[in-house]
């Protein structure tokens, strides 16, 4: 038994060390060109957090050292997203979206998207990074072509939009709003193709779609997750087949997230809550795998590493934390924000160049 325990511990620490070595093998290095302008080489891993203290911070995951801080004086930041090629970081605020160059030390955004009129609560990118989508409390979902100025399309939800996700087919956006509506926006037909209300007058707080487009999960303010199997109809329209209802938390669910492709054959659902915990559910039967305990206040956001072996969380206790999924152990804490840390973004996979 002692031998087995020793072997297990050896394998565990070896796995963790290998992950951290891979994760942090290359980080930004500062160099000076002939004009004394400071530039940074592109990091292999991009990890950022944002806070109600009006800052965005970039971190080295292994050492927890903050190597860059961007002041964001205009508003709080509600959501962060990294482009597939790791070139830009999008910060969704009130009522705008700012894009920052990840490989520069400039505090100024390289692009500003300004046609929303209220808090921007969701932002994301198409797979090749040519366009961006957003959702706002002004009740609209918008599409932005990053190669041309201004908003290219707008869809009216008629209620404050809390969450938007892009279907893996890249032709449908799914939004959830404060009135409890879920809508599918067909980008080819340029219209709403499906609408459902899982729980009347209960805000849909977060949506997530499985990497292969087989499942969608909606989380609400009552701590409930609704799960549907996604089916393709005769008109290539996405149809929702009810699969499961999960009472995951007693408080609000602020973020739900399905595990990435490299996590296969295991499939997990992470739920972050106002009850200070993050729960990990096995998608096969939606049984509770483990509860991540350590945060002292609301947990607002979470993101998986590309292989699904690690999870990063952001909380009102001013910290972000790195968790080892197989054991549920907290292995790093990121401290430096002076107010609630409400969102995080991680890109530790291969770069995807725009076509």
Within 10 A of 347 (CB to CB), how many other CB atoms are there?
Answer: 24
pLDDT (tens digit per residue) in 320-342:
999 999 999 999 999 999 999 99
* Domains of the chain with CATH codes: 43-347 (2.130.10.10)
Is the pLDDT higher at 238 or at 210?
Answer: 210
Higher pLDDT, 146 or 334: 334
Provide the 3-class DSSP secondary structure of residue 21.
helix
* 276-288 per-position pLDDT tens digit: 999 999 999 999 9
Residue 73's closest CA among 118, 107, 104, 114?
107
Give the residue-averaged pLDDT of 221-244: 85
Contacts of 292 (CB under 8 A, 6+ apart): 277, 278, 279, 280, 311, 313, 323, 328, 330
Query: Tell me: the pLDDT tens digits for 118-130?
Result: 999 999 999 999 9
pLDDT at 77 over 60: yes
């Amino acid at each position: 038994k002692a031998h087995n325990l020793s072997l297990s511990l050896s394998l565990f620490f070896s796995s963790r060390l290998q992950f951290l070595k891979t994760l942090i093998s290359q980080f930004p290095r500062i160099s000076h060109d002939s004009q004394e302008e400071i530039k940074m080489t592109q990091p292999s891993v991009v990890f950022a957090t944002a806070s109600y203290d009006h800052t965005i911070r970039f971190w080295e995951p292994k050492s927890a050292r903050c190597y860059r801080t961007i002041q964001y004086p205009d508003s709080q930041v509600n959501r962060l997203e990294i482009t597939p090629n790791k070139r830009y970081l999008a910060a969704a605020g009130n009522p705008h979206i700012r894009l920052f160059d990840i490989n520069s030390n400039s505090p100024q955004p390289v692009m500003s998207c300004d046609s929303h009129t209220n808090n921007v609560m969701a932002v994301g990118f198409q797979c090749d990074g040519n366009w961006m989508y957003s959702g706002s409390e002004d009740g609209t979902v918008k599409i932005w072509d990053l190669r041309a100025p201004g908003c290219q399309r707008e869809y009216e939800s008629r209620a404050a939009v809390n969450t938007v996700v892009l279907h893996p087919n890249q032709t449908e956006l799914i939004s959830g709003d404060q009135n409890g509506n879920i809508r599918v926006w067909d980008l080819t037909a340029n219209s709403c193709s499906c609408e459902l209300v899982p729980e009347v007058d209960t805000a849909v707080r977060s949506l997530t779609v499985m990497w292969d487009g087989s499942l969608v999960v909606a989380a609400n303010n009552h701590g409930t997750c609704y799960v549907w199997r996604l089916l393709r109809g005769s008109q290539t329209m996405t149809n929702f087949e009810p699969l499961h209802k999960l009472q995951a938390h007693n408080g609000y669910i602020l973020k739900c997230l399905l595990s990435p492709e490299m996590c296969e054959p295991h499939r997990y659902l992470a739920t972050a809550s106002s009850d200070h915990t993050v729960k990990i559910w096995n998608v096969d039967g939606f049984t509770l795998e483990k509860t991540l305990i350590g945060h002292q206040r609301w947990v607002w956001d979470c993101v998986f590493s590309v292989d699904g072996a690690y999870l990063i969380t952001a909380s009102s206790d001013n910290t972000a934390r790195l968790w080892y999924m197989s054991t549920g152990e907290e292995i790093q804490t990121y401290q430096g924000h002076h107010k609630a840390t409400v969102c995080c973004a991680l890109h530790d996979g291969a770069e995807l160049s725009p076509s």
